[in-house]
Structure 1
Amino acid sequence: MPELSAGDTAWVLASAALVLLMTPGLALFYGGMVRAKGVLNMLMMNFAAIGIVSILWVLYGYSLAFSTDIGGGLLGGLGDFGLRGLLGEESLSSTIPSTVFVGFQGMFAIITVALISGAIADRAKFSAWVLFAAVWATLVYFPVAHWVFFFDDGNGGWIGDRLGAIDFAGGTAVHINAGAAGLALALVLGRRVGWRKEPMRPHNLPLVLLGAGLLWFGWFGFNAGSAVAANGLAGVAFVNTQVATAAALLAWILVERIRDGKPTTLGAASGAVAGLVAITPACSSVTPIGAIIVGVVAGVLCALAVGLKTKFGYDDSLDVVGVHLVGGLAGSLIIGFIASAAAPAGVDGLFYGGGFSQLGKQLVASLAVLVYSFVVTFLIGKIIDKVIGFRISEDDEASGIDLAEHAETAYDFSTIGGGSRPHTITRAPSADSEKLDASANSSSAPADEKEGSVAR
């Protein structure tokens, strides 16, 4: 029986809080990238994911993901329904209380659902999103988390425990999973009105950078916290996370400089996230030099991959496919090439003399999660669309999803520049004054409708 460690417990609790912070960070990251008339809806979709998944995780999600396997490494049972039996001091998960592990893993479930929202920005009914989040978490995330994260001496999940694929903190379970789901939903909902015809620029790039910074900060809990102990493995994951993210940021803006002539703030933020995504599965199996390579590869590939939506004609609003699906695949597969036995996982990849064995395992795991998530998500989306409708009307989309779905706007442009007019004026306005009013209203148009912003 392991003994409780106060240090391990404190670190995992802190890590859980860091991972929770990632979802509001994601909301700001996504919120800055949409147009001004859709920012509140994007924040609401992310915050709704926190509420929905938190409840489901305690009721049955944790049990399905982490209780004793009921057959073939595919799913846990309902023995821990409502966390019964996990509340006593004697209930430990390694050297931490079971409830601490429950809380930590619950934050992973939350952000995985939230990530999908970026693919369908500006056009999904909020009620449909709420229903989708609950059903998707149940049918997709909880089973896949069991495949990848549940270990039971060879009797756990089929990907992590039985196959032996390496996914330290969620390259397959979180990023490939969410990326494939985002692609499926983007196909179900179709393109935004005016896509590729009207400018759909980020309305607030400082907000994007703030969100990216919060994601970077919280990701140390995501990766280093996955050591589930305050130990050397957590330290390696921490360092690898930092250098991979830095390398990806630099690689992305270098691609922009070569391709477009200018590095952009949006590119820097996106590159950082791409590096975080790619190092997530690999941070226990590569050296710090290997982590830099992971970051460079992810930065270049994801910078190029965001253009795939234009080539193939699917409207992935905020590049969930280009960053999370492609970044997750890159991070998972590169383990098979540059994993080093010098790293804590103790596995050599192809370039270190380990042969093709680990690469084959990584490929099987990645493709299995991709196909399962895409197919099931597509079916869930189609059913919801048929039953209650998944997309708002074209008129509501044109006027703005914030007003249509939430009866709110993020910014009150009527207060910009003009001040209030006296209420004692009773005479009819002249033609000249009407022209001045029209000019004032035009000058206070949202930033996403002006030139100079970065197109998405």
Structure 2
Amino acid sequence: MAWEWCRNKGRATLSLVVLEINTGDTAWLLTSAALVLLMTPGLAFFYGGMVRSKGVLNMIMMSFVSIATAGVAWAIVGYSEAFGNSIGGIIGNPFQFAFLDSLVYGDPTVGTVPALAFAGFQGCFAIIAVALLSGAIAERATFRGWMALSVLWLLLVYAPLAHWVFASNGLSAPRGGWIVNSLHAIDLAGGTTIEVACGAGGLALAIVLGRRIGFGSAPMRPHNMTLVMLGAGLLWFGWFGFNSGSALVSGTWAALIWVNTLLAPCAAMLAWLFVEKRRDGHATSLGAASGAVAGLVAITPSGGAVSPLGAMVIGLLAGAACSWAVSLKFVWGVDDSLDLVGVHLVGGIIGTLGIGLFADPRTATRVAGLFYGGGVDQLWRQAVAVLVVGAFSFGMTWLLATVLTRTIGMRVSPEAETSGIDLAEHSEVGYDLTSVQPARRGV
């Protein structure tokens, strides 16, 4: 294996086993990276369908431009911050792998795969994490403000968190981050550093930018559910690479993760629809799509640590809890436009804490959760990771949004928001219906 979990004084420790490059593992990782990249266009459709028609193009553009801004920032310095040699367990040496140049020559490896392939795979993670954040501020953020935030958030929030959570000792550099190496919390593919971080950061953004005009009084229903369902399907498809690729090997562990990535969203969708039917009297397509995403979010950290039964239980919990949580924005008056907090923050918390409850010692992590005789040892570690990551992301995102609001501006004018952010920010519209003429009588 490229990396494995071992027991160190009764704790889960991730350590790298250096082997020669394996072509099968490399092919699987490169395929997984492509699947993860596809998730961002999928997210663009998912988010685009959920907003009103006058903001669909802007919503899609926020995801697409994140591929460019986050991709370039990741190559220049982001990867080094995340996987460079650790400075106090807090951040990697930002110059160690700058521009990825040192990964091209001499055939450096991460376990059984080329280091450059690993960097590309992780870069696609950074891109989708940044794009996710846009869901909290739909229909009211300036495009220039979003582009600036996407770069700053990657470098000052995501990359340090990726170092804490993903950079195990020996992975790309001799020393890594503190959550994985000292706290010994488990996070397969980003339940904390992506889901919790985006949810907490999205909450901060929604507070700083304020509510959309008419929030709570004017209808703000999704304008195109076919786009939403298409986006959800693409997200689910890409998520197999997102989770299974994080094994870094094409073997039994990757197969377990793949199956869990299938089962958890299935269970979550059923739970969401059940709650929705009992509460509102209807099971909706938006509920089906959102339930599947909630299950995918929850299995992201836990997919390699639980059995298929555990994955379904986590999915059921996430589907029911997230279905309830999305309604709280109206109670609290916080305009989390596309339910980033209700789905990603809540789902990420459930999946991360679920490891402490349902971790099966027969998996590659070799960790036992509370219900498998392991007591609360792993549970408290998972809880600390959630609290620290959430607090850091909320605080830093609030600071960045506040600074950008007071300098270049983060919110469009009331006139632009009312008439349509697509025209104001891009001088385009998502749907050009000017050539459509009404049918004449008698024709």
Q: TM range, normalised to the smaller chain? A: over 0.9
Secondary structure of 1:233's partner?
Answer: helix
Q: What residue is the counterpart of 1:274 in the other structure?
A: 294
Query: Is 1:283–1:291's contact at 8 Å kept on the other side of the alignment?
Result: yes
Give the Å deviation of 1:286: 0.5
Question: What are the within-5 Å matches in structure 2 for residues 244-323 of structure 1?
Answer: 244-323=264-343
Match of 1:86 among 103, 110, 133: 103
Structure 1 position 372 matched with structure 2 position 392: yes
Task: Give the alignment partner of residue 87 of structure 2, picking from 62, 70, 85.
Answer: 70
Distance 1:77 1:356 in 2: 36
1:404 is aligned to 2:424: yes
Structure 1 CA distance for aligned equivalents of residues 229 and 127 of structure 2:
22
Specify the alignment match of 2:19 in structure 1: 2
Match of 1:198 in 2: 218
Match of 1:25 among 35, 39, 42: 42
**Residue 352 of structure 1, CA deviation:** 1.1
Contact 1:275-1:295 at 8 Å conserved across structures: yes
Query: In structure 1, what is the equivalent of residue 5 of structure 2?
Result: none
Aligned match of 2:15? none
Match of 2:9?
A: none
Q: Which moved more, 1:150-159 or 1:160-169?
A: 150-159
Q: Is 1:345 aligned with 2:362? A: no
1:331 has 2:348 as partner: no
C-alpha displacement of 1:259: 0.7
Matched, 1:39 2:56: yes
Distance in 1 separating the partners of 2:94 and 2:236: 34
Q: CA deviation at 1:373?
A: 0.2
How many pairs align?
421
Corresponding residue for residue 192 of structure 2: 172
Mapped partners of 1:393, 1:66: distance in 2: 40
| Distance of 1:161 and 1:233 partners within structure 2 | 21
Distance 2:419 2:281 in 1: 35
Contact 1:70 1:77 in 2 (8 A): no
Is the CA contact (8 Å cut-off) linking 2:89 and 2:164 kept in structure 1? no
One-letter code aligned to 1:223: N
Shift of 1:79: 1.1
Distance 2:296 2:106 in 1: 35
Aligned ranges 1:178-189 → 2 under 5 Å: 178-189=198-209
Q: Deviations over 1:306-336 (max 9, x none)?
A: 0110111100000000000010011001111
* C-alpha separation in 1, matches of 2:165 and 2:436: 51
1:74 and 1:61 map into 2 onto residues whose CA distance is 10
Judge conservation of contact 1:69–1:77 (CA < 8 Å) in 2.
no
| Residue 430 of structure 2 corresponds to residue 385 of structure 1 | no
Deviation larger for 134-143 or 74-83: 74-83
1:15 aligns with 2:29: no
Q: Distance in 2 between matches of 1:37 and 1:301?
A: 31
Report the Cα offset of residue 414 of structure 1.
Answer: 2.7
Q: Match of 1:180, as an amino acid?
A: A
* 1:2 Cα deviation from its structure 2 partner: 1.6
Whether 1:229 aligns to 2:246 is no
- Please tell me whether the aligned partners of residues 81 and 91 of structure 2 are also in contact (alpha carbons under 8 angstroms): no
* Equivalent in the alignment of 2:3: none
Which residue identity does 1:397 align to in structure 2?
Answer: E
Shift of 1:416: 3.4
Cα distance, 1:185 vs structure 2? 0.3
Q: Distance in 1 between matches of 2:386 and 2:92?
A: 18
Q: Give how far 1:417 is off.
A: 4.9
**1:88 CA displacement:** 2.4
Equivalent AA in structure 2 for residue 30 of structure 1: Y
Does structure 1 residue 148 correspond to structure 2 residue 165?
Answer: yes
User: Is 1:124 paired with 2:153?
Assistant: no
Are the aligned partners of 2:135 and 2:336 in contact in 1 as well (CA < 8 Å)? Answer: yes
User: d(CA) in 1 for partners of 2:256 and 2:412?
Assistant: 46
1:118 counterpart letter in structure 2: G
Cα distance in 2 for residues equivalent to 1:147 and 1:221:
22
Specify the structure having the higher radius of gyration (Cα). Answer: 1
Kindly provide the amino acid, as one letter, of the partner of residue 31 in structure 1.
Answer: G
Asked whether 1:239 is paired with 2:259, we answer: yes
Does the Cα contact within 8 Å between 1:118 and 1:320 map onto a contact in 2? Answer: yes
The residue that corresponds to 2:112 in the other structure is: 95
CA distance in 1, matches of 2:164, 2:87: 12
Alpha-carbon offset, residue 155 of structure 1: 3.6
* Aligned-pair CA distance for 1:415: 3.1
Q: Where in structure 2 are the equivalents of 1:104-123 lying within 5 Å?
A: 104-123=121-140
- After superposition, the CA RMSD in angstroms is 1.3
For residue 74 of structure 2, give the secondary structure of its aligned residue in structure 1.
helix
Contact 1:74/1:158 (<8 A) preserved: no
Q: Tell me by how many angstroms 1:345 deviates.
A: 1.2
1:445 maps to none
**Aligned AA for 1:28?**
F
Distance 1:51 1:412 in 2: 26
Which amino acid counterpart does residue 226 of structure 1 have in structure 2?
S
Cα distance in 2, alignment partners of residues 373 and 289 from structure 1: 32
Equivalent pair of 1:33/1:205 in contact (CA under 8 Å): yes
Q: Which residue of 1 aligns with 2:14?
A: none
Runs of 5+ unmatched residues, structure 2: 1-17
Q: Deviations over 1:169-222 (max 9, x none)?
A: 100011001111100000000000011111001000010000000000000000
Within the alignment, does 1:53 sit opposite 2:73 as a pair? no
